[in-house]
């Protein structure tokens, strides 16, 4: 059996339609088996369509998949979801996973800069403090910085428009201290780009309008905080959030959908009869009435050669996650809470999550081991890349140990390392909005549609609206 023909063991129930059968019923090919593709497949199957998911990797899940390390099942990429409108919780309930929803342990994240470390103020949104004079805000930015944030309510408010960078808007409205010490570490951690290279509009549709409506950034942050339930705005899942994509894949199959892994799509073109012809490396072309693109944006443009791009997709950023399993009893007290944001190049890593201090279920399974995850962006690891992938992995792990020592303020020698894993995510940059026009028989979901994060993906209804 060739690579392109490999089907997951229980994926045989519905055959892929041969050419020209799509007129007999609604047949859909979903390109990409990450959370968005699997969710789209589930929706379509429940609406009565015949669905085939084509996934290039050997397993489904995309950036929400699993990593086995030192006998532990860990999340390889995403590890939590935003509670926001409750869509992920609703989905988990439908999948029978509601009892596994857990809140992170309640210690704050920290920020580590070149000269000082401080806890990130608890009441904030995107690092914007909701109470400018709260003691944790004053500790982080000083009384003058706090005063400057308070003063923002007196500034006139206008939508900054598509060309303004996040750096310009935040500095103008909140001042330099709050921007560099509070907002930048958080926003850079999410968007993997310096504030001065990130369009303010990329912070989400409606952020500019929301700022105008509420009368400023602090007021917008206050409204966003009020809209989310008390406590942490994120949740996890016992066993990791990859449990969600695994359950979705199971349900897709039980509803009669076909999932083909190891099936890298090369192109999707409109056929003469108004349907689509999809080519997969090493296989005969497949026909379907509709195509759903559920791949990162750069791939959308490449795989649809006959569809004019609405704009150039953004250069895909690379994120690298280094997971370390450590014997380090001094971490038992969670010296830097659930994680650390690094500012001003204090380490090559931009952030660290102390996963066993964040998730009780994981601490229980890890027993006396500690698990930390460090994230790097492409720029930070470029100079480690000289000697090829193997050397790079070794030097990255060594760099990660040094960075973890600095960020957690403990001395972590190589002997303390039980196991490590380096996972590179080539298309990690959040998307800016659709890169092609959807049309008859063509839908975009998830990152293809410009959405980032499980909460956004779970709330969308693109597939059915373009049928």
Ligand X SMILES: Cc1cc2nc3c(=O)[nH]c(=O)nc-3n(C[C@H](O)[C@H](O)[C@H](O)COP(=O)(O)OP(=O)(O)OC[C@H]3O[C@@H](n4cnc5c(N)ncnc54)[C@H](O)[C@@H]3O)c2cc1C
Binding region for ligand X (CB under 6 A) out of 55-63, 332-340, 357-365, 390-398: 55-63
Beta bridge partners of 72: 69
Binding region for ligand X (CB under 6 A) out of 27-35, 102-110, 213-221, 250-258: 27-35
- Does position 32 interact with ligand X (CB under 6 A)? The reply is yes
| Six token digits for residue 400 | 């990660």
Binding region for ligand X (CB under 6 A) out of 110-118, 149-157, 198-206, 444-452: 444-452
Q: 163 phi and psi, to 5 degrees?
A: -90, -15
| Six token digits for residue 408 | 């957690």
Decide whether 159 or 266 has the Cβ nearer to ligand X: 266
Decide whether 29 or 49 has the Cβ nearer to ligand X: 29
Determine the 3-state secondary structure of 135 from DSSP: helix
Residue the block writes with tokens 């997951």: 8
Cβ burial of 260 (10 Å; 0-12, 13-18, 19+) is buried
Q: How far apart are CA 50 and CA 55, in angstroms?
A: 17
- Does position 453 interact with ligand X (CB under 6 A)? The reply is yes
Among the listed residues 452, 458, 460, 462, the single contact to ligand X using CB under 6 A: 452
Among the listed residues 4, 8, 49, 77, the single contact to ligand X using CB under 6 A: 77
Q: Are 39 and 81 in contact (CB under 8 A)?
A: no
At its nearest, how many Å lie between ligand X and the CB of residue 23?
Answer: 25
Q: How far apart are CA 119 and CA 186, in angstroms?
A: 12
Determine the 3-state secondary structure of 385 from DSSP: coil
Decide whether 129 or 453 has the Cβ nearer to ligand X: 453
Among the listed residues 4, 17, 33, 434, the single contact to ligand X using CB under 6 A: 33
**Binding pattern to ligand X, positions 283-302, x when CB under 6 A?**
-----------xxx--x---
Q: Are 391 and 137 in contact (CB under 8 A)?
A: no
Size of the site for ligand X (CB under 6 A): 36
Residues 6+ apart with CB under 8 A from 426: 316, 318
Element (DSSP H or E) covering residue 117: strand 117-119
At its nearest, how many Å lie between ligand X and the CB of residue 91?
Answer: 12
- Does position 4 interact with ligand X (CB under 6 A)? The reply is no
Decide whether 140 or 242 has the Cβ nearer to ligand X: 242
Determine the 3-state secondary structure of 152 from DSSP: helix
- Does position 31 interact with ligand X (CB under 6 A)? The reply is yes
| Six token digits for residue 462 | 């693109």
Among the listed residues 80, 207, 338, 392, the single contact to ligand X using CB under 6 A: 80
Q: How far apart are CA 239 and CA 102, in angstroms?
A: 10
72 DSSP 8-state letter: E
Among the listed residues 4, 17, 37, 434, the single contact to ligand X using CB under 6 A: 37
Q: How far apart are CA 248 and CA 242, in angstroms?
A: 10
Element (DSSP H or E) covering residue 366: helix 360-366
Among the listed residues 45, 81, 210, 406, the single contact to ligand X using CB under 6 A: 81
Among the listed residues 16, 30, 51, 64, the single contact to ligand X using CB under 6 A: 64
At its nearest, how many Å lie between ligand X and the CB of residue 40?
Answer: 9
At its nearest, how many Å lie between ligand X and the CB of residue 133?
Answer: 31
- The residue ranges that bind ligand X (CB under 6 A) are 31-37, 54-57, 62-64, 77-81, 264-265, 294-296, 299, 303, 319, 321, 425, 428, 446-447, 452-454, 457
């Amino acid at each position: 059996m060739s690579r392109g023909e490999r089907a997951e063991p229980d994926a045989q129930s519905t055959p892929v339609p041969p050419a020209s059968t799509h007129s007999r019923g609604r047949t859909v090919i979903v390109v990409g088996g990450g959370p968005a593709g699997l969710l789209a497949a589930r929706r379509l199957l429940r609406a009565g369509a015949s669905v085939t998911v084509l996934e290039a990797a050997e397993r489904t899940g995309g950036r929400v998949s699993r990593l086995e390390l030192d006998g532990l099942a860990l999340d390889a990429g995403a590890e939590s979801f935003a509670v926001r409108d409750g869509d992920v919780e609703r989905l988990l309930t439908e999948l029978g996973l509601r009892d596994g929803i857990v809140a992170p342990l309640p210690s704050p994240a920290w920020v580590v800069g070149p000269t000082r470390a401080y806890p990130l103020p608890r009441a904030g949104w995107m690092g914007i403090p909701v109470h400018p004079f709260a003691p944790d805000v004053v500790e982080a930015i000083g009384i003058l910085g706090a005063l400057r944030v308070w003063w923002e309510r007196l500034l006139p408010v206008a939508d900054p428009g598509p060309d303004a960078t996040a750096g310009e808007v935040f500095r103008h409205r909140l001042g330099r201290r709050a921007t560099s010490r509070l907002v930048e570490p958080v926003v850079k951690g999410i968007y993997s780009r310096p504030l001065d290279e990130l369009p303010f509009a990329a912070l989400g549709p409606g952020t500019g309008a929301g700022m105008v409506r509420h009368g400023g950034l602090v007021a917008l942050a206050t409204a966003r905080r009020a809209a989310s339930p008390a406590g942490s705005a994120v949740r996890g899942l016992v066993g990791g959030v990859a449990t969600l994509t695994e359950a979705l894949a199971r349900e897709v199959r039980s509803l009669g959908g076909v999932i083909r892994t190891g099936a890298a799509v090369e192109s999707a073109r409109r056929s003469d009869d108004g349907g689509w012809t999809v080519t997969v490396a090493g296989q005969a072309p497949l026909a379907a009435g509709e195509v759903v693109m559920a791949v990162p944006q750069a791939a959308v443009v490449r795989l649809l050669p006959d569809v004019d791009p609405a704009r150039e997709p953004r250069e895909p950023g690379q994120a690298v996650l280094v997971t370390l399993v450590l014997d380090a009893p001094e971490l038992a007290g969670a010296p830097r809470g659930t994680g650390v944001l690094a500012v001003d190049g204090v380490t090559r890593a931009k952030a660290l999550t102390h996963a066993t201090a964040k998730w009780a279920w994981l601490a229980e399974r890890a027993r006396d081991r500690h698990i930390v995850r460090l994230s790097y962006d492409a720029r930070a690891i470029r100079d480690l890349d000289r000697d090829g992938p193997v050397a790079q992995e070794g030097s990255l792990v060594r760099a990660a140990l040094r960075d973890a020592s600095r960020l957690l303020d403990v001395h972590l020698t190589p002997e303390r390392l039980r196991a490590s894993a380096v996972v590179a995510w080539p298309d990690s940059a959040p998307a800016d909005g659709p890169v092609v026009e959807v049309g008859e028989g063509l839908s975009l979901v998830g990152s293809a549609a410009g959405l980032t994060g499980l909460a956004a993906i779970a709330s969308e209804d693109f597939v059915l609206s373009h049928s």
